[in-house]
Structure 1
Amino acid sequence: MIRMRDLRKDFSVRVPAGRLRREKRLVSAVDGVSLTIEPGEMVGYIGPNGAGKSTTLKMLTGVLSPTSGEVSVFGLTPVPQRTRLALRIGVVFGQRSQLWWDLPLRESFRLLRHVYQVPPAEHEQRLRRCREMLDLDAFLDTPVRQLSLGQRMRGEITAALLHGPKVLFLDEPTIGLDVVSKQAVRSFLAELGATGAVTVVLTTHDLADIERLCDRLVVIDHGRVVHDGTIEALHARYGSRRSLVVDLDSPLPAGFVLPGTSVAGVEADGHRVTFALDETSAAAAVAGLVAVASVRDLSVVEPDIEDVVARLYRAG
C-alpha cells in the first residue's frame, strides 16, 4: 500500500555567521527513511518535535517533493500523480481545515460529495455511519467557524472519509481535544481499524492514542527510523518492566530478597514496597512474598510507554 525507500527531504536554511552575515545550511528533515506499510495496517508514527513526522506525511500525500529516494502510495508517485492519488486517500492535518469556514457542517459535506463526485447513495451511507459513531447530529447545521475544536475535528475526520479512501493520514487528530471528543475520535478510529478496510497512518504526541489504536509503532528521531515494531518489542528493547506494588501489615525483614525482582521503592515506613519484575512473573513473585509476609493489598503496574519513548529519545 505504501512504500518508502531511502526517502530524504532537505531544506536550505539561513543561519547567523557573524554580526551581519548569514550563510545557507542544509538541514535534513527526513534522512533516509525506508518503510513498507501493508493494506489494513494501523501504524503509529511518532517522534519529538522536528523529528520529521509531518514532513514524511506531506511527501506521502504529494504536498512536498522528496529531495531523493523513492515513495509510492497505491503504486502512484505522490507529486506527479497527486490528482489521482487525492481520490484514493483521506488526510487530516490537525492545524489545517478542509471545511468551509462560513458554511454549516452539513453543507461542507455536501460540497465535498461534488468535489469527489461520490454517488449520492454512497455518500449518504458513509455520512450516516460517521454521524452515528462521531455524534455529529447536534451540530450538523452549525457554521464551521462556530464549532468547538473537538466538534470541528470530528467533522474533519468525517470529511476525509466521505469519498471512501483506502488510506487515511492523520496528523495530530486529537491535539487539544477535550476528554469527551478525544474518546469519541479514538473509539471511531478503533472501529475503523478493526475492519481492516482502511490503512491508517497516525502521528501524535498523545501516546494513549498509540496504545489504544496501533499494533505497529514507528519511532522517528532526527529524520531517521529508530524503532519499527510492536509496543511490546519497544518495551523489551529498552528494558521496561512491570512492577508489583504491595501493601504489608508489617515491614519486610532486613535483607529480604524476592527472587527474580529488584526493589524499586519503599514507602510508608516500609509498609508499601514496589518490586520491579526483572526475571519472574507476577504470580511467582506474589507466591514468594506471601510465604514470608502478611500482604494486605497488591497491584501489578504495567510499564509506562511515555517513559519508554522518552528514554528512547534521550538515547538517540
Structure 2
Amino acid sequence: MENIIHVEQLRKEFKSYSSRSGLKGAFRDLFTRNYKIMPAVNDISFQVQPGEMVGYIGENGAGKSTSIKMLTGILTPTSGMVSVNGMNPHKERERFVQTIGVVFGQRSQLWWDIAVQESFRLLKKVYNVSDQAYKDHMEHVIESLDIGPLLDKPVRKLSLGQRMRCELAAALLHNPTLLFLDEPTIGLDVLVKLKIRNFLKEMNERYNTTILLTTHDLSDIEALCDRVIMLDEGSVIYDGKLAQLRSNWGEGKQIQFQFADSNITELKLSMVCNELPVEWVQGNRNNIWIASVKNDESVISALIGKVVAAHKITDIKIQEITTEEIIRNIYEEGIVYG
C-alpha cells in the first residue's frame, strides 16, 4: 500500500541572530551580524498509510508545528524528502491543497463578520466543489456536527466550541483524503470534545480519511489514535503503537488514598512505607495522596496494609498509570526508543 505521507531525513534550520553588547557592539551589528544555525526539525523520517489516525505529540519546542508546516507546504525544508498524497507540498502547492484539510485550534479559516454558510459557499468556490458533491457531503457533516442552527450566524457571534465545530466542517468541505489537526479541542468543554471525537471516528470509518493529530490533550490521542509519533528536540524518539508504549513504559499502578486527616504529609507517608519502592504525589485536595508503584501484587498489598494500619482511610482507588504520566516520565528520564 502506498504511503499517504512519506518523510525521509526531513530537516528545517533557522538562523538565530545574537546582538553584541555595548555601544561598540551595536555599531558593529549594523555591518555584520553574529548568528548560529538552529535545527528546529532534525532529520526525521516516518510514513503514514491511508486511513491511519496518528497522534503527533511532543513538548512545546519539540518541532511539531514546524514539521506540520512543512507537510502542509507552508515552510520549505532545509533538506530531506517529503511526499504527501504523492506530491511535494511546497512545490505543487496549488494542486496539493485541494487534497488536504487543515484545522489550527488558534487560527480561523472562516470569515469573521459573515455568516458561517457564506464562508462555506466561498470555500466551495475556492475548492471547486460541485453543487451535488457539496449537498451530498455537507448535509452529513452539518448534521453530524450539529451546526445547522449556526449556519446563519456570523462567526464572531459563536462560542469557541461552536466555532471549532464549524472550522472542522470547513476543513472537510471538499472531503480531503488527509486531515491535519493542530490542537483542535484546545479550550473546549467535555461534551464538545466528545462530539468532535465521535465525528472524526465516523469520518475515518466512512471515507477512510487519514488524520494526523497534534495535541497536548492526551485523552484525544487515547480516544482516536492507535499509533503515536513522539518528538523531542526536533527528533523522533518513538514511533509505534500506543498500546506498545503503555506496555513498555506503563508497567505500574497508581493507588489513590483519601485520608480522614487533612494534615497528611509526604514525610509521614514515607516513614510508614520507607522500605517499599513507592513515589508519593499529592492529589487535588489536601487529604488525597497518590502512590505510584510497580505492578507487583506483594508490593501493592504491603503498601495498602501499612498505610491503612497507620492512618484512617475514607477511600482507596487503584488504577493504571495514565498515558500522560507515561509520556511525562519518558521526557523526564530522557528515554529514547528505536
Q: TM-score, normalised by structure 2?
A: 0.78
Distance 1:196 1:262, change over 3 A: farther
67, 87, 91: which is aligned to 1:76?
87
C-alpha distance in structure 2 between counterparts of 1:165 and 1:273, whole Å: 47
Q: Structure 1 residue 209 and structure 2 residue 212: aligned?
A: no
Where 2:111 maps in the other structure, the secondary structure is coil
C-alpha distance in structure 1 between counterparts of 2:257 and 2:39, whole Å: 49
Q: Which amino acid aligns with 1:178?
A: D
Q: Structure 1 residue 5 and structure 2 residue 8: aligned?
A: yes
C-alpha contact 2:250 2:321 (8 A) present in aligned 1 = no
C-alpha distance in structure 2 between counterparts of 1:274 and 1:63, whole Å: 44
C-alpha contact 1:262 1:275 (8 A) present in aligned 2 = no
Q: CA offset at residue 263 of structure 1?
A: 5.7
Q: Which amino acid aligns with 1:172?
A: E
C-alpha distance in structure 2 between counterparts of 1:129 and 1:63, whole Å: 30
Q: Structure 1 residue 116 and structure 2 residue 127: aligned?
A: yes
Aligned match of 1:307:
325
C-alpha distance in structure 2 between counterparts of 1:277 and 1:171, whole Å: 34
Q: Structure 1 residue 138 and structure 2 residue 156: aligned?
A: no
Q: Which amino acid aligns with 2:96?
A: L
Q: CA offset at residue 262 of structure 1?
A: 5.9
Percent identity (aligned): 45
Q: Structure 1 residue 28 and structure 2 residue 34: aligned?
A: no
Q: CA offset at residue 299 of structure 1?
A: 4.5
Aligned match of 1:57:
68
Aligned match of 1:164:
175
| Cα RMSD after superposing both structures | 3.4
Q: CA offset at residue 315 of structure 1?
A: 2.7
C-alpha distance in structure 2 between counterparts of 1:132 and 1:157, whole Å: 13
Q: CA offset at residue 265 of structure 1?
A: 6.4
C-alpha distance in structure 2 between counterparts of 1:185 and 1:83, whole Å: 29
Q: CA offset at residue 243 of structure 1?
A: 4.0
Where 2:252 maps in the other structure, the secondary structure is coil
C-alpha contact 1:5 1:70 (8 A) present in aligned 2 = yes
Q: TM-score, normalised by structure 1?
A: 0.83
Q: CA offset at residue 190 of structure 1?
A: 2.5
Distance 1:179 1:170, change over 3 A: same
C-alpha contact 1:190 1:212 (8 A) present in aligned 2 = no
Distance 1:10 1:265, change over 3 A: closer
C-alpha contact 1:169 1:202 (8 A) present in aligned 2 = yes
C-alpha distance in structure 1 between counterparts of 2:184 and 2:228, whole Å: 17
Distance 1:273 1:307, change over 3 A: closer
Where 1:177 maps in the other structure, the secondary structure is coil
Q: CA offset at residue 164 of structure 1?
A: 1.1
C-alpha contact 2:177 2:209 (8 A) present in aligned 1 = yes
Q: Structure 1 residue 189 and structure 2 residue 200: aligned?
A: yes
Distance 1:233 1:141, change over 3 A: same
C-alpha distance in structure 1 between counterparts of 2:290 and 2:112, whole Å: 53
C-alpha contact 1:8 1:69 (8 A) present in aligned 2 = yes
Bigger Cα displacement from structure 2, 176-185 vs 82-91 = 176-185
C-alpha contact 1:90 1:168 (8 A) present in aligned 2 = yes
Distance 1:31 1:242, change over 3 A: same
C-alpha distance in structure 1 between counterparts of 2:132 and 2:175, whole Å: 12
Bigger Cα displacement from structure 2, 301-310 vs 208-217 = 301-310
C-alpha distance in structure 2 between counterparts of 1:67 and 1:45, whole Å: 21
Deviations 1:198-250 (A, max 9, x none): 00001011111111111001110111001111222222333541346699xxx
Distance 1:154 1:279, change over 3 A: closer
C-alpha contact 1:193 1:213 (8 A) present in aligned 2 = no
C-alpha distance in structure 2 between counterparts of 1:92 and 1:266, whole Å: 36
Distance 1:220 1:273, change over 3 A: closer
Aligned match of 2:269:
none
Distance 1:172 1:274, change over 3 A: closer
